[in-house]
Amino acid sequence: MNLKVNIAGVELENPVITASGTFGFGFEYGNFYDLNKIGGVCVKGLTLKPRQGNPPIRIAETPSGILNSVGLQNPGVEYYINHELPRLKATGTKAIANISGNTIEEYCKMAEIVSASDTDLIEMNISCPNVKQGGVAFGTDPKTVGEITKAVKKNCLKPLIVKLSPNVTDITETAKAAEAAGADALSLINTITGMVIDIHTKRPVLHNNIGGLSGPAVKPVAVRMVWQVANSVKIPIIGMGGISSGADAIEFILAGASAIAVGTYNFVDPYACIKVLDGITEYCEKYNIADVNELVGGAIMNG
Amino acid sequence: MNLSVLGKVIQNKEIANNIFDMLIECEGADSFAPGQFVNVLCEGGDALLRRPISICDAYDNILRIIYEVKGKGTALLSEYRIGQTVDMLAPLGNGFTLNKEAENPVIIGGGIGTYPLLMLAKQLNNPQVFLGCRNKSLVTLIEDFEKISTLHISTDDGSYGHCGLITELACEYIQQNGTQIIYSCGPKPMLKAVKAIAMQFNIPCQISMEERMGCGIGACLVCACKTAAENGDYKYSHVCKDGPVFDASEVIFE
């Protein structure tokens, strides 16, 4: 059985990768299993300079999900390249750098710096809901998505994945804009903005007031969006949003994702990625699927 | 190191209103250190995230945790029956750094923060233990602490022991008798007061912090704790991985 998938010219051992921000730089989970068992590790969102992130409280549990507002705390792109990337690459897995900036120029600079490293793929985060500048502001207007993708692409020597925000009326518009501007692949969905209010203090639980919702609660929304985008673009899609099992992953693949990412569920089960991969394998065995790529976009719509 | 541990409940008893004392048969418990915690999957309902719970004691492959039922996770845990499997990540975090040379160690605990101090107290030579609770009904572990320490208790309403804040009692004691080290765990305002006492008398002090967690192992970065950075500025450390025990001088209280 073939589980290898190709994302914009980069071959992944299998379609299971980690969602940025849920997996650090890999090593916490590397205590549980060998990272080369999964297709790739998408690292914590990086910025040009180190970032402190938001004050606590940064997380609230919600029905079947979590709301977070970490605010892109990270040690900066240089630290990633000098300290985290070498040991991540040494594991044999593929490294995906997730980059964020406050301005288009910063995104371009980030792409340039990361392109000069051993990173395999770059994921451009234009959909972080937890920072005041940049982030989601870039990701919700198709025109801006096109402009930033085009500019970054000029400075990017690695395959560029554009991570789309679900906080839009029609996600196919931003998807098409990214594709037209040269994106090599798309990843979706980022978190859905949400709020939790403590009725006793009458204040939002998160210090940042709003945060990004993830976990099983968002899965149907994510599957729908992957399906819509898959029917609007030709570039590969990395699907994510609430995946906790092989069955969930297969749903995303049938909707049109070539690879999938596991995020929030890593917190619940540190072996989540491995279990998702095992589940994909079992499904393929059960239905005599020789190549997981055969399943991509295989969902049959009702009349 | 394999942090994924399956234990078996051997006791899950309500020892005060909404406070449960759980004993878990757990291989490797002997290697757990005071101040470390476990991240428990609370099964049987719709609690998604694991719940971080401090280690109260660990010996002979038995783990003791004491927890307050506060939300749906701990409510589910309180339903666990004897023999039931407990899925944990353990042991997590950095515990207390024991200094057995330091004379007359002082331990200050408040509320549910008193539980992780038992194992610590056991490993020190007759420490002075100060425990503060809201009222008499919440004062627990008296017998356990009395066996191994000199115990001082206060309640907010005076229903047991000294009436008032435990930090007042501890401060008075330290002023009169002196100490070479303070260990503490409890609510933030109490820890802030403990830090102030430690600074006032220039005593080394370790405090165990609490924050809402996600992964419990340092990957998600949600359990931020403001600490002093090398350049004189602040940074956000993470309670699960950098703590939960910090040197009091590092922690910046708002």
Instruction: Answer whether B219 sits within 8 Å of A61, measured CB to CB.
Output: no
Residue A45 clears pLDDT 80, i.e. is over it:
yes
- ipTM attached to this prediction: 0.95
Q: Is residue A65 part of a domain?
A: no
Which residue in the list A128, A156, A273, A284 is annotated as catalytic?
Answer: A128
Which pLDDT tens digit goes with each residue over A22-32?
999 999 999 99
Residue A129 clears pLDDT 70, i.e. is over it:
no
Kindly report the nearest CA distance between residue B206 and chain A, in angstroms. 21
What CATH number should be reported for the domain holding residue A26? 3.20.20.70
Instruction: Answer whether A270 sits within 8 Å of B218, measured CB to CB.
Output: no
Tell me which residue in A54, A215, A267 faces B215 most closely, judged by beta carbons. Answer: A267
Domain positions in chain B are: 4-92, 106-247
Instruction: Answer whether A32 sits within 8 Å of B4, measured CB to CB.
Output: yes
Q: Is B106-247 CATH 3.40.50.80?
A: yes
Instruction: Answer whether B3 sits within 8 Å of A32, measured CB to CB.
Output: yes
Tell me which residue in B49, B211, B222 faces A268 most closely, judged by beta carbons. Answer: B49
Burial grade of B101 (CB within 10 A; 0-12, 13-18, 19 or more): exposed
Tell me which residue in A53, A64, A266 faces B215 most closely, judged by beta carbons. Answer: A266
Q: Tell me the count of A-B CB pairs closer than 8 A.
A: 100
Residue A134 clears pLDDT 90, i.e. is over it:
no
Q: Is residue A301 part of a domain?
A: no
A39 lies in which domain range? 5-55+72-193+214-295
Set of chain B residues whose Cβ sits within 8 Å of the Cβ of A43:
none
Instruction: Answer whether A56 sits within 8 Å of B4, measured CB to CB.
Output: no
User: Each residue's pLDDT tens digit in chain B (254 positions)?
Assistant: 689 999 999 999 999 999 999 999 999 999 999 999 999 999 999 999 999 999 999 999 999 999 999 999 999 999 999 999 999 999 999 999 999 999 999 999 999 999 999 999 999 999 999 999 999 999 999 999 999 999 999 999 999 999 999 999 999 999 999 999 999 999 999 999 999 999 999 999 999 999 999 999 999 999 999 999 988 899 999 999 999 999 999 999 98
Which pLDDT tens digit goes with each residue over A166-180?
999 999 999 999 999
> Residue B72 has what pLDDT?
94
Instruction: Answer whether B221 sits within 8 Å of A24, measured CB to CB.
Output: yes
Set of chain A residues whose Cβ sits within 8 Å of the Cβ of B219:
22-24, 28-29, 266-267
In chain A, pLDDT over 90 holds for what percent of residues? 94
Read off the pLDDT band of A138 (50, 70, 90): confident
Q: Is residue A78 part of a domain?
A: yes
What global pTM score does this model have? 0.96
Is A156 designated active site? no
Q: Is residue A255 part of a domain?
A: yes
Tell me which residue in A58, A215, A269 faces B224 most closely, judged by beta carbons. Answer: A58
Architecture of domain B4-92: Beta Barrel (2.40)
Q: Does B202 touch chain A (CB under 8 A)?
A: no
Number of structural domains (chain A) is 1
Q: Is residue A206 part of a domain?
A: no
Q: Which residue of B has its CA nearest to A214?
A: B48
Q: Is residue A225 part of a domain?
A: yes
